[in-house]
């Protein structure tokens, strides 16, 4: 068993090193190219420093996601999933298809969840590799010939995606009002009321951030973190 854990952590470390290596490689190439075209070195260093600072807070949701997922998948697997392609919202949604909140987790369920999360996210890279060029050219043609249609298409796609996710969450919460289940690991009461209140608070916080972003553009990078932390705080005090 200890050997298995060691292998998983080793895989996670290798993936992390690859991600860091790729980032450093592109920083070096970009820095070299910027110097070739005559950009000031001081501006380049300041840009790198600012990028590092403004990357830390938006990473908070990822750290929170690891904390949420590790109680089901463990630290290593959660770390592996959230350090490569994917997003917090997708990873938790995919995981919950196999590991619902408060369930008794088994090794088979963890393996199934990992397969679902990994195989499902592969659709994006496969689509990009096979179809993205043609798809991009078609979108560019629509954007130039009929900008209004382009706006309607993108709005409809986003609206359909959000409607599916939100309706599933709200319906599930509505049918579990008054039927609280106790999370086995924390003892917290998980009920429809908590879900609905948390959802309402998160919507309110994001709306406030949206209004403030019009005045303070820098807040755009922090809106997700503020919303998640605020909603989680409310859920924590309720549950």
Q: What is the pLDDT along the chain (239 residues), one digit of tens a residue?
A: 455 678 888 888 888 899 889 988 988 888 888 888 888 877 877 777 777 766 776 677 677 778 778 888 888 788 888 777 767 767 777 787 787 766 777 778 888 888 888 888 888 888 888 988 888 888 888 888 888 888 888 888 888 888 887 887 788 777 777 665 544 444 445 567 888 888 889 889 999 988 998 888 877 767 877 888 888 888 888 87
Q: What angle do CA 99, 105, 107 make, to 5 degrees?
A: 105
Judge whether 69 and 92 are in contact, CB under 8 Å.
yes
Task: For residue 182, list its beta bridge partners.
Answer: 189
Q: What distance in Å separates the CA atoms of residue 120 and residue 8, rounded to the nearest whole number? A: 21
Measuring CA to CA, which residue among 75, 65, 112, 19 is closest to residue 229? Answer: 65
In the Cβ-directed half-sphere of 94, how many Cα atoms lie within 13 Å? 24
Return the pLDDT at 184: 44
Listing DSSP states for 73-98 in one string gives HHHHHHHHHHTSS--HHHHHHHHHTT
**CA-to-CA dists, residue 105 to 70, 71, 184, angstroms:** 12, 9, 10
Return the pLDDT at 25: 92
DSSP-based three-state secondary structure for 178 = coil
Q: Tokens representing 189?
A: 């009461």
Measuring CA to CA, which residue among 234, 210, 230, 226 is closest to residue 60? Answer: 226
Judge whether 202 and 169 are in contact, CB under 8 Å.
no
């Amino acid at each position: 068993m200890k050997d298995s854990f060691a292998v998983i952590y080793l895989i996670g470390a290798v993936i992390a090193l690859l991600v860091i290596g790729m980032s450093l490689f592109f920083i070096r190439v970009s820095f070299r190219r910027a110097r070739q075209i005559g950009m000031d070195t001081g501006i380049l260093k300041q840009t790198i420093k600012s990028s590092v600072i403004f990357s830390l807070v938006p990473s908070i949701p990822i750290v929170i996601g690891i904390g949420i997922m590790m109680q089901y998948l463990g630290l290593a697997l959660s770390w592996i999933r959230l350090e490569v392609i994917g997003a917090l919202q997708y990873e938790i949604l995919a995981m919950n298809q196999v590991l619902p909140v408060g369930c008794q987790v088994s090794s088979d369920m963890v393996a199934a969840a990992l397969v679902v999360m990994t195989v499902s996210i592969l659709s994006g890279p496969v689509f990009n590799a096979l179809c993205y060029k043609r798809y991009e050219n078609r979108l560019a043609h629509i954007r130039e010939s009929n900008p209004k249609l382009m706006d309607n298409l993108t709005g409809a796609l986003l609206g359909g995606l959000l409607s599916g996710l939100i309706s599933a969450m709200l319906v599930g919460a509505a049918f579990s009002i008054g039927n609280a289940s106790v999370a086995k690991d924390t003892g917290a009461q998980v009920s429809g009321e908590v879900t609905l209140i948390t959802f309402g608070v998160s919507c309110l916080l994001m709306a406030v951030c949206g209004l403030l972003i019009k005045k303070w553009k820098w807040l755009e990078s922090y809106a997700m973190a503020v919303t998640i932390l605020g909603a989680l705080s409310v859920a924590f005090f309720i549950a």
